[in-house]
Amino acid sequence: MGAALVTLLCRDGASVLAADVNEAGLEAVAAETGCVTRRTDITSEAENVAMVKAAVARFGGLDLAFLNAGILGRPIPDQMEPLTDIASVGRGYRAVMSVNLDGVVFGTLAAATAMQGSGSIVVTASAAGLVPWPPDPAYTVSKHGAVGWVRSIAPALEQHGITINAICPGAVDTPLIDVPGYADELPRLEPSQAAEAMVATALEGKTGRAVSVVAGRDPICATHEFNELLGFS
């Protein structure tokens, strides 16, 4: 998804800094797109700050930030069987929360500090941020947390001219889930479709939304509505 996003942005003339811990992947994307790259561990608050500073130093500012990194809490082979070993959830919990939630929080704060009076942040959550995903509870809670963060921080960022939204894709046809028999019953998005949804969401000018992106649905993108809770605003 990240590679597809960088490809789309570069094709449309954006100046892009791509960040990842996968240096070989970064080199491959840079060779194809001409983007700037930086090895970054997004679980580190300091590295998020350094990443944003590098982008601003290179390009003179920051307009868009896509916080897209993510990992599963349980290996896919384990997810193909009903969850019975509760201890397995605990073993994957800290790592998945560090990438999927800490990285979102640190990335948001670093990006927002650099955006002067305008900007857009898009967080890649998941359909598992909107509905339960019993095969991987740790992943599910991390994505629910990402959606909650977006909805909660949006009013404060809006005061500074910054929008933030979450996209919540269903299954995406990436190597992460490219295992025979895994989620075969789910229609899969192409990475390019997810990337297009990310860019469209960034440019719409709205904020605090969770946008589901589901293959085979018309329209493919839909803003998810939440019920109000009596007594809370």
- Strand-pair partners of 169: 213
Residues 6+ apart with CB under 8 A from 121: 64, 65, 66, 67, 107, 108, 111, 112, 157, 162, 163, 164, 165, 202
Residue tagged 């990402």 (tokens): 146
Q: What are phi and psi of 75, to 5 degrees?
A: -60, 150
Hey, how many other C-beta atoms are within 10 angstroms of the C-beta on 12?
A: 9
Which residues have CB under 8 Å from 67's CB, separation 6+? 42, 103, 104, 107, 108, 111, 121, 122, 123, 124
Catalytic residues: 139
* Distance, CA of 107 to CA of 52 (rounded, Å): 8
